[in-house]
Amino acid sequence: MKAEIIAVGTEILLGEIVNTDAKFLSEELAALGISTYYQTVVGDNKERLLDAFRSGFERSDIIITSGGLGPTDDDITKETGAEYFGKELVLDENSYNRIESYFKGRKMAKTNIKQAYVPVGGKVLDNDNGTAPGIIIEENGKMLIMLPGPPNELVPMFNNSVKPYLEGREKQVIISRTLRLTGIGESNAAEAVRDIMAKGTNPTVAPYAKEDGVLLRITAKGEGKEQCLKMIEPVADEIYGRLGGFIYGEDDTTLAGAVVELLKEKGLSLATAESLTGGMLASAIVDIAGVSKVFKEGFVAYTNESKMKTLGVSSRTIQYYGAVSAETAAEMAKGAAVKAGADVGISTTGIAGGGAVANPTVDDTSYDKPVGRVYIGIYCKGKTFTKELNIKGSRQKVRSRTVSSLLDFLRVTLKGL
Amino acid sequence: MKAEIIAVGTEILLGEIVNTDAKFLSEELAALGISTYYQTVVGDNKERLLDAFRSGFERSDIIITSGGLGPTDDDITKETGAEYFGKELVLDENSYNRIESYFKGRKMAKTNIKQAYVPVGGKVLDNDNGTAPGIIIEENGKMLIMLPGPPNELVPMFNNSVKPYLEGREKQVIISRTLRLTGIGESNAAEAVRDIMAKGTNPTVAPYAKEDGVLLRITAKGEGKEQCLKMIEPVADEIYGRLGGFIYGEDDTTLAGAVVELLKEKGLSLATAESLTGGMLASAIVDIAGVSKVFKEGFVAYTNESKMKTLGVSSRTIQYYGAVSAETAAEMAKGAAVKAGADVGISTTGIAGGGAVANPTVDDTSYDKPVGRVYIGIYCKGKTFTKELNIKGSRQKVRSRTVSSLLDFLRVTLKGL
């Protein structure tokens, strides 16, 4: 089966947003064995969208649209899709009730009723994260799947409703297993598996650089998931043999998730002390469901005052070594653990740039330190470990890279226990 | 003039990379007064690319391609473009020398010579960041601009060579002013300005729903930036008159940035106490450069124990009202302010779902509360304010929506002082 993806939205043609929906959908379709031959973006314009449907269905069996299902007048995807298939729009009771209940408490705008109208005979896809339902129209071997634009609505709707609907329509499926690495660069990871990458057309191995590390994706095409996984397994084993130390998880595992699992295994509780990351570290950990078993407490000690008062960092350490120093990081980590009564404490202090000096209130040596200089600390069972990082890039990048580096530092330290 | 953008690359159709080039190019073209009617992505396939050129030039004056100028055999954009215009490819001395010098020290792969061939009569655009030159073919009012795919090559090449080439071809430029709203839904915002949206073709007003609120973008087309801004001003004033209370800033201002500005104005310092948001709130605030003047300290009090021990929430309150209650939110906010010696304290407690009960350690009434039930609190100058939220959606959405709701709650409260 051939598919194409049509994003509807003038804001994309004005360059106001990136079309991430197309990436997600193409990736998912490939996994279902469905080839995407075209991605198109058209504005909120009925004639141009109709043209796109016509030329799209001349060359493809499936069209998936994203966007244009909103409540306003310039949201025209559903109306245009219905017109293309010559369908009337009728009120869908369930959608109406779902939308109304979505507004419980708040006032529902009249225009939202528009979203409860669906083409006759269309399959309605409930939206758990917004008002607009998705719709599938299938007729004479042509399938139009209309999804809402916001990724936080489109992604769950695809996974919950569209994927099951499309699954099994292709005998040949494409299955991937993604190994998640950290602490190694893309080129070095690729170098280490170059021969495997060169050899394989099925399965294939492809490296991707991500914010928090590198992915090695092993992809096999075969008849059914089982067969694909069998083809993938020996390749994965070979890569584990070479790079196992850098692999923290697979597929959707996050670095924070891997760390939380390790803490649970070891029966250890955690506390955080953050300066330049300002809560980003704790937030990444609290993002993991069921974290409450291991996460005790977090402190955002942005100022020297709070580093001393709340975490018990000695003023001498700050005066002598600076708030941005291995010594301060160590005392912050220990202070967090002690204060929270946790087994493990972890800390960040550094200079993110863009005005974010970790210790703005006391004039000290940190001002000599370069932007991107960061110290991370771990306190565990009476021992402290620290590391110096020098991160290039934006304020945002320095902070997020600090979080992933510390999570990996903790992961490796816990494995060593 | 009408333009369309064609990205060439199977990796985009496989969903391996996001098409950020299209966003950049569309944005730049809009600023030049050139409208983009379509963005298309095709694979590394000559026939499909030729089709895309044909249908593209039927409806547009300019086609800009990105990608497919590399040294390998599946890089076919230049060859296909030359074929479409019936041009021969000839060796371009300058490009050859530039590419050779690019490899100074390293060995130049033979295949790179391919990149030095350009269509007869084509304008060559030097590449300061890679080997592939860009090329412009212009004939009978049709313009094909072929650029390399990597953004770090495409962006400077566009700015240095393409922009000057296109500048002044359109007398009219397009300028936007974006009003950022929060505390109101897209549909209600649109309804409030429906008549303005209906009447305006220039300037136009368009609403966009974002994670943390709604944007109203006013876009004018005119001769020069000055004139556009003049056209936009009365429309913006009218919208301020109707929705001013919901508008927290314009263009790139974030909600956190607006709050930090207000705190500076009023000379107030801030502390945070977070349960379900787990540091996300503090992180959003610390993300603002220069925040150190107002942000004192943050606490991630995920457990009841830390709510009581660190923030001084009374055990009676937690036992009687529950950790997820307005009463607890109020005591958390006050506790944070007192503990940090800040003028203002803000707090979050609630049930994010996916296992994130805000108070996992003590069995209490919170377990009766539904997922998405959240209480936010503000302590300011001896007074406390709280609000109950009921947020539908994923764990991630409940948390981020809580952060934006609280930031807006604080913004409105501070304005009221």
* Contact flag B15-A27 (C-beta cutoff 8 Å): yes
Nearest CA in chain A to B174: A14
Is pLDDT above 90 for A31? no
Which residues of A are less than 8 Å from B392 in CB distance? 102, 128-129
Cα-based torsion angle of the residue sequence A123, A128, A131, A135 in order, rounded to the nearest 10 degrees: -20
Among A8-22, A344-358, B112-126, the least confident range: A344-358
Question: Which of B29, B278, B286 lies closest to A302 in CB terms?
Answer: B286
Question: Which of A24, A156, A360 lies closest to B15 in CB terms?
Answer: A24
Sign of torsion, CA B35 B39 B44 B46?
negative
Minimal Cα–Cα distance from B90 to chain A, Å?
Answer: 31
Q: Which two tokens stand for residue A310?
A: 């709340």
Average pLDDT of span B197-210? 84
pLDDT at A367: 60
More confident residue, B108 or B392: B392
Say how far apart CA A66 and CA A58 lie, in whole Å.
20
* Contact flag B286-A303 (C-beta cutoff 8 Å): no
* Contact flag B191-A23 (C-beta cutoff 8 Å): no
Q: What is the pLDDT of residues B245-290, one digit of tens each?
A: 999 999 889 999 999 999 999 999 999 999 999 999 999 999 888 8
Average pLDDT of span B15-24? 90
* Neighbouring residues of B253: CB distance < 8 A, sequence distance ≥ 6: B180
- Closest of A42, A52, A65 to residue A144, by C-alpha: A65
* Contact flag A278-B281 (C-beta cutoff 8 Å): no
Q: What is the pLDDT of residues A239-257, one digit of tens each?
A: 999 999 999 999 889 999 9
Which residues of B are less than 8 Å from A274 in CB distance? 279
Residue at A39: amino acid letter: Q
pLDDT at B208: 81
Minimal Cα–Cα distance from A107 to chain B, Å?
Answer: 9
pLDDT at A219: 87
B87 C-beta neighbours (distance < 10 Å), count:
17
Tokens 């998405």 locate to: B372
User: pLDDT averaged over chain A?
Assistant: 90
Confidence of residue A412 (pLDDT cuts 50, 70, 90): very high
More confident residue, A392 or B336: B336
Residue at B312: amino acid letter: G
Sign of torsion, CA B95 B98 B103 B107?
positive
Average pLDDT of span A124-132? 92
Minimal Cα–Cα distance from B93 to chain A, Å?
Answer: 32
pLDDT at B128: 84
Q: What is the pLDDT of residues A227-238, one digit of tens each?
A: 999 999 999 999
* Contact flag A277-B283 (C-beta cutoff 8 Å): yes
pLDDT at A354: 67
Confidence of residue B172 (pLDDT cuts 50, 70, 90): confident
Say how far apart CA A21 and CA B172 lie, in whole Å.
32
Nearest CA in chain A to B208: A11
Say how far apart CA B292 and CA A303 lie, in whole Å.
7
Rounded to two decimals, the ipTM of the complex is 0.75
- Enumerate the β-bridge partners of residue B5: B39, B64
Is pLDDT above 70 for A365? no
* Contact flag B23-A20 (C-beta cutoff 8 Å): no
Give phi and psi for B374, each to the nearest 5: -135, 140
Question: Which of A5, A13, A55 has the highest number of chain B CBs within 10 A, making it the mutation to test binding with B?
Answer: A13
More confident residue, B355 or A268: A268
Is pLDDT above 60 for B356? no
User: pLDDT averaged over chain B?
Assistant: 90
**C-alpha A300: how far from chain center:** 24
Cα Rg of chain A, angstroms: 26
Which residues of B are less than 8 Å from A111 in CB distance? 187, 190-191
A-to-B residue pairs, Cβ atoms closer than 8 angstroms: 283
Q: What is the pLDDT of residues A160-171, one digit of tens each?
A: 999 999 987 888
| pTM recorded for the entire structure | 0.75
Q: Read off the DSSP letter of residue A367.
A: G
Nearest CA in chain A to B4: A13
Q: What is the pLDDT of residues B94-137, one digit of tens each?
A: 999 998 887 776 677 777 889 999 999 999 999 988 889 999 99
DSSP per-residue codes, A50-69: HHHHHHHHHH-SEEEEES--
Confidence of residue A88 (pLDDT cuts 50, 70, 90): very high
Which residues of A are less than 8 Å from B356 in CB distance? 286, 289, 291-292
